[in-house]
């Protein structure tokens, strides 16, 4: 709160503090925009946001992590992205203010403990946090759906990344000790318990960030769409690539480019794996669940081609560890993090093993974090 007054020295109203988590995804890799099922989990790291109203209709957006501040009228927001970090909150505000007008201006300070661009969904976290906090401060009626839709608008329409629906759902609907089951075709959801006493969930950041990630991501979305269009005649009732089973991909192979073929095989097989992983989780069979996660990584590497040697090495050296259940890259790939599942009784020494093995190959020790689940977006305090 002191930092808020440090940045906005002239603010007259005491700020309120909000939080929204980041997420990892365990199954359903790159399935959301093809209509498949996904199994993400929120983590106890994310975006903190201090916000206060102001009487003069000005909007100021500042960050503890970025030097530039946005300042303008809340009634005349930019109509397109400006290529800055604050495009995400601006996109969310544009959506919220398209339905009702702001009675007041806002000062908003963003902070957080989520590495940006690491595949932990910092963008959905900032978008959902913004929607939640702004709706609360401006007394807009809102629901979980409001925040999900505002976040999707911010990312897709305003910033221009053709992301699927998984991230804002995971961030907005999180509960501790649970994975979210989200069927991206009909948007049905279910919270599935995971035994966090029996399994530790580690996230290791390669530290690698690729500028091309957004471009490559949009290319995968386009490849899946064109594969679907070419394969749809094999399965007349299909409405998205998720509906095209493995055999139909084979039947229509001649019409696909080699890339489209590999993407379609990944999608068909990952759908099957994700349903199997769901059964394994419900049965409490963590070993079977972990095997599906591990196979998902191999498919992301070989068929979807979104991995890099650093991510593959982290998964491979984990496989040497007794008690390792499974692991994969999380998020879009091209850098960022792996998520690793380890039996709780086998966790001692695992971190050192990873750090040493990675350092032998790449000359530096990556950071290993163990995450708990999270309770989703919320107000933390109301300062007086
Ligand atoms: C990114 C996107 C998500 C999803 C994942 C891959 O995180 O934002 O919508 O497509 O990649 O599973």
pLDDT of residue 102: 85
Nearest to 344 by CA among 294, 280, 295, 286: 286
Two tokens at 37? 């099922």
pLDDT of residue 322: 97
* Interval 260-281 mean pLDDT: 98
Find out whether 229 and 378 touch, Cβ atoms under 8 Å. Answer: no
Distance CA 239, CA 252 (A): 16
Distance CA 91, CA 158 (A): 5
In short, whether 32's Cβ falls inside 6 Å of ligand 1 is yes
State yes or no: pLDDT of 382 exceeds 80. Answer: no
In short, whether 33's Cβ falls inside 6 Å of ligand 1 is yes
* Interval 256-264 mean pLDDT: 98
Mean pLDDT of the chain: 95
Other CB atoms within 10 Å distance of the CB of residue 211: 10
In short, whether 22's Cβ falls inside 6 Å of ligand 1 is no
How far is the centre of ligand 1, averaged over its atoms, from the C-alpha of 18 (Å)?
Answer: 24
* Interval 140-155 mean pLDDT: 97
How many angstroms separate the first and last alpha carbons of the chain?
11
| Nearest-10 crossing angle of helices 213-231, 258-282 | 90
* Interval 313-327 mean pLDDT: 98
Sequence-distant (6+) residues with CB within 8 A of 206 are: 308, 310, 311, 314, 335, 336, 337, 338, 366
Helices (H), the chain: 2-7, 87-99, 122-137, 144-152, 166-172, 213-231, 246-251, 258-282, 286-302, 309-319, 350-362
CA 95 to chain centre: 20
How far is the centre of ligand 1, averaged over its atoms, from the C-alpha of 28 (Å)?
Answer: 10
Distance CA 45, CA 186 (A): 29
Distance CA 196, CA 284 (A): 11
Looking at the chain, the whole-number percentage of residues with pLDDT higher than 70 is 99
Question: Catalytic residues, which ones?
Answer: 167
Position in ligand 1 atom list of the atom nearest CA 165: 9
How far is the centre of ligand 1, averaged over its atoms, from the C-alpha of 165 (Å)?
Answer: 8
State yes or no: pLDDT of 273 exceeds 50. Answer: yes
SS3 (DSSP) at 343: strand
Distance CA 120, CA 124 (A): 9
Pocket test of ligand 1: the residue of 168, 332, 335 to mutate, having most ligand atoms within 8 Å of its CB, is 332
Flag the least confident range among 202-211, 322-331, 332-341, 374-383.
374-383
pLDDT of residue 316: 98
Find out whether 68 and 85 touch, Cβ atoms under 8 Å. Answer: yes
State yes or no: pLDDT of 151 exceeds 50. Answer: yes
Distance CA 61, CA 41 (A): 28
SS3 (DSSP) at 252: coil
> Exposed (0-12), middle (13-18) or buried (19+): which is 151, by Cβ within 10 Å?
buried
Q: Which residue has the tokens 């359903």?
A: 28
Report the nearest-CA residue for atom 1 of ligand 1: 332
pLDDT of residue 212: 66
In short, whether 25's Cβ falls inside 6 Å of ligand 1 is yes
Flag the least confident range among 48-52, 102-106, 254-258.
102-106
How far is the centre of ligand 1, averaged over its atoms, from the C-alpha of 306 (Å)?
Answer: 11
Read off the pLDDT of residues 58-98 as tens digits, 9 standing for 90 and up. Answer: 999 999 999 999 999 999 999 999 999 999 999 999 999 99
Report the nearest-CA residue for atom 12 of ligand 1: 30
Confidence band for 384, pLDDT divided at 50, 70 and 90 = very low
Report the nearest-CA residue for atom 7 of ligand 1: 331
Pocket test of ligand 1: the residue of 23, 30, 293 to mutate, having most ligand atoms within 8 Å of its CB, is 30
pLDDT of residue 298: 98
pLDDT of residue 117: 80
How far is the centre of ligand 1, averaged over its atoms, from the C-alpha of 164 (Å)?
Answer: 6
Position in ligand 1 atom list of the atom nearest CA 155: 8
pLDDT of residue 214: 80
In short, whether 260's Cβ falls inside 6 Å of ligand 1 is no
pLDDT of residue 383: 47
pLDDT of residue 211: 72
In short, whether 220's Cβ falls inside 6 Å of ligand 1 is no
How far is the centre of ligand 1, averaged over its atoms, from the C-alpha of 136 (Å)?
Answer: 28
In short, whether 289's Cβ falls inside 6 Å of ligand 1 is no
Nearest to 111 by CA among 155, 151, 62: 62
Find out whether 273 and 279 touch, Cβ atoms under 8 Å. Answer: no
């Amino acid at each position: 709160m002191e930092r808020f007054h440090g940045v906005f020295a002239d603010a007259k109203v005491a700020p309120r503090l909000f939080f929204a988590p980041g997420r990892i995804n365990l199954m359903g890799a790159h399935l959301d925009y093809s209509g498949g099922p996904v199994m993400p989990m929120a983590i106890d790291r994310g975006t903190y946001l201090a916000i206060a109203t102001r009487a003069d209709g000005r909007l100021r957006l500042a960050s503890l992590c970025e030097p530039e501040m946005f300042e303008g009228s809340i009634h005349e927001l930019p109509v397109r992205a400006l290529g800055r970090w604050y495009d995400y909150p601006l996109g969310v505000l544009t959506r919220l203010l398209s339905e009702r007008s702001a009675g007041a201006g806002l000062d908003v300070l963003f902070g957080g403990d989520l590495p940006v661009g690491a595949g932990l969904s910092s963008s959905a976290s900032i978008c959902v946090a913004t929607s939640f906090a702004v709706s609360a401060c401006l007394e807009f009626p809102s629901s979980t759906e409001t925040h999900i839709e505002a976040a999707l608008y911010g990312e897709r329409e305003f910033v221009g990344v053709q992301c699927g629906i998984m991230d804002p759902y995971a961030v907005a609907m999180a509960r501790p000790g649970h994975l979210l089951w989200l069927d991206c075709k009909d948007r049905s959801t279910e919270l599935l318990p995971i035994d966090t006493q029996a399994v530790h969930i580690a996230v290791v950041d390669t530290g690698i960030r690729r500028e091309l990630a957004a471009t490559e991501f949009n290319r995968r979305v386009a490849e899946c769409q064109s594969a679907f269009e070419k394969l749809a005649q094999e399965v007349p009732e299909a409405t998205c690539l998720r509906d095209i089973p493995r055999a139909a991909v084979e039947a229509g192979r001649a019409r696909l480019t080699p890339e489209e073929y590999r993407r379609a095989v990944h999608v068909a097989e990952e759908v099957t794996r994700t349903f199997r992983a769901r059964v394994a989780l419900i049965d409490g069979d963590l070993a079977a669940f972990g095997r599906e996660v591990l196979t998902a990584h191999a498919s992301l590497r070989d068929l979807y081609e979104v991995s890099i040697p650093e991510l593959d090495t982290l998964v491979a050296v984990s496989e040497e560890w007794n008690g390792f259940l499974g692991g994969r890259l999380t998020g879009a790939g091209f850098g960022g993090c792996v998520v690793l599942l380890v039996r709780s009784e086998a966790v001692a020494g695992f971190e050192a093993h990873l750090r040493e093995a990675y350092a032998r190959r790449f000359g530096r020790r990556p950071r290993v974090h163990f995450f708990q689940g999270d309770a989703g977006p919320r107000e933390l305090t109301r300062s007086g």
